[in-house]
Amino acid sequence: MNIVSSSLFEQAASGQKTGLLTVLDMGSSKISCLIARLVPLHKTLHLPWRTHKVEVLGFAARQSRGIRAGLVIDIAAAEQVVRKVIDAAERMAGLMVKSIIVNFSGRHMKSERLEAKITLNEERVELADIRRVIAAACVARRAVKRPIIHAVPLAFTLDEDRGLEDPRNMAGTQLGIDMHCLAVDTGAARNLEHCLNRAYLKVEALVATPYAAALSTLLREETIFGATCVDFGGGTTSFAIFRKGKFVHADSLPVGGQHITADIAQGLAISIEEAERLKIMHGSVADYAGSDDSYIAVNRPAYAGTRRFSRKELAKIIRARVEEIGEMVRDRSNRAGFRPVAGQRLVLTGGASQLAGLPDIMHMICRIKPRIGRPLGISGLPLEARSGAYAALAGLSVYPQSLGFSEQEFNLSGAEYEPGKKLKKAGQRFLQSVNGCVKVFKGF
């Protein structure tokens, strides 16, 4: 049996070599694993970030345990499920996994904007100047203990010139930078890593769930004109916003599909298991006005029999919670300064995104044209994994590709959080390349 050790950042992310990688989605409702081969690919016209074709070798998913609202609350229980999922995926792929890329969910993520300016030593911008301005931006947050998992330079300024993509070799006296950083809770990240280490897995990188979902579902023009990817998870709902091809904001809400299930169970006085079945089989937020003659029979052991409920009654319960989630997404986005713009798209992913009528409700609330997002450009995905419920898992396989940038594309992924080691001073991670988790601009 071959061993998959994710030296993928040195291989697949180079844009020239074939590599193997393993990704793991630690969700509140399910834990899933994907083992894939990344084969070099010519640039696609419609899919951003792609340098490789993803060929699925192994896949497995199991009901989650030990995770609530995206956070590990029972390490032993979560570890058992992880071991089973990894074992099943290994058997399918005929490979043994040693290291993984894993998603980070939960409400403990916060977007930050960092700015800095430096005086140039020479008349033209050099590589060392870009490194210095990045470090200067990091110094501004040294007092903040929350580690950064993503940092994206949005634009450079050079004297009075703003919005520069690549300032190298340009003449000027003062260089500035505007960066978007996504920070997470140190304890939550450490608990997640500890859980996976107990299963003898090395964590190569943490990737925010909504960012991962966006990587697998967004089209190139959507990232340019503006898009918000909303991932409806089991215990959380999170979203990532893109403008002009850049990842500019993310946030997470402590409410998701499991809360819808609990509402159904409470509203209809049935078990959680029966409520989940109803949500999957008959869940909808559509308006059933005039359709009260459509009924569903539900078994209620506590009441010694069955009862018939109208679809309208079920939809009313689901709709109330979905509207609440939609309004929270809208309000959080607006407060962050990202109000709807012309041509913007809303892409819905996650298990709860499969609810009938959801796009119409989100359109009504957010005033943005929505569509259901599904994993794109992934070869060999099992039928069950081709829905939006597995968008984040598929996106994790795209993540290392996003680290391989051309000379005209600038980005910075990874940062302070280095799995397996203590948190260093802010700024040091930006200028180091450790296991590929810290990836400063290609060639910098």
pLDDT tens digits along 414-444? 334 455 554 333 333 333 322 333 333 333 3
Pairing of strands 237-243, 246-253: antiparallel
pLDDT at 98: 93
Whether the domain at 1-108+185-208+396-404 and the domain at 220-375 fall into the same CATH topology: yes
Question: Could you tell me which residues are beta bridge partners of residue 22?
Answer: 35
Please give the Cα distance from 131 to 71 (Å, whole number). 34
For 1-108+185-208+396-404, CATH gives 3.30.420.40
Backbone angles phi, psi at 354, to 5 degrees: -80, -5
Over residues 224-233, mean pLDDT: 96
Q: In the numeric block, which tokens belong to residue 297?
A: 């029979």
Over residues 406-413, mean pLDDT: 29
pLDDT 10s digits, 387-407:
999 999 999 999 988 874 322
The sign of the CA dihedral 346, 352, 358, 363 is negative
Please give the Cα distance from 230 to 241 (Å, whole number). 9
CA angle 61, 198, 91 (to 5 degrees): 40
Q: Of 224, 289, 212, which Cα lies nearest the Cα of 252?
A: 212
pLDDT at 292: 54
Query: If you classify domain 109-182+407-444 with CATH, what class do you get?
Result: alpha beta
The SS3 call for residue 18 is coil
Q: What share of the chain has pLDDT > 70, as a percent?
A: 82
Backbone φ/ψ region at 114: left (φ over 0), alpha (ψ -120 to 50), beta = beta
Backbone angles phi, psi at 179, to 5 degrees: -125, 145
Over residues 354-364, mean pLDDT: 94
Q: Is residue 101 pLDDT above 90, yes or no?
A: yes
Q: Is residue 362 pLDDT above 50, yes or no?
A: yes
Residue spans of the domains in the chain: they are: 1-108+185-208+396-404, 109-182+407-444, 220-375
Please give the Cα distance from 68 to 235 (Å, whole number). 6
Q: In the numeric block, which tokens belong to residue 181?
A: 């950083």
pLDDT 10s digits, 156-200:
999 988 989 889 999 999 999 999 999 999 999 999 999 999 999
Please give the Cα distance from 212 to 250 (Å, whole number). 11
Name the helix (H) or strand (E) containing 195. helix 186-198
Q: In the numeric block, which tokens belong to residue 99?
A: 């290291």
Q: Is residue 363 pLDDT above 50, yes or no?
A: yes
pTM, to two decimals: 0.86
Please give the Cα distance from 425 to 204 (Å, whole number). 20
Backbone angles phi, psi at 439, to 5 degrees: -125, 95
Q: Is residue 2 pLDDT above 60, yes or no?
A: no
pLDDT at 429: 34
For 220-375, CATH gives 3.30.420.40
pLDDT at 122: 83
pLDDT-wise least confident of 34-38, 84-88, 102-106, 434-438: 434-438
Are the beta carbons of 29 and 64 closer than 8 angstroms?
Answer: yes
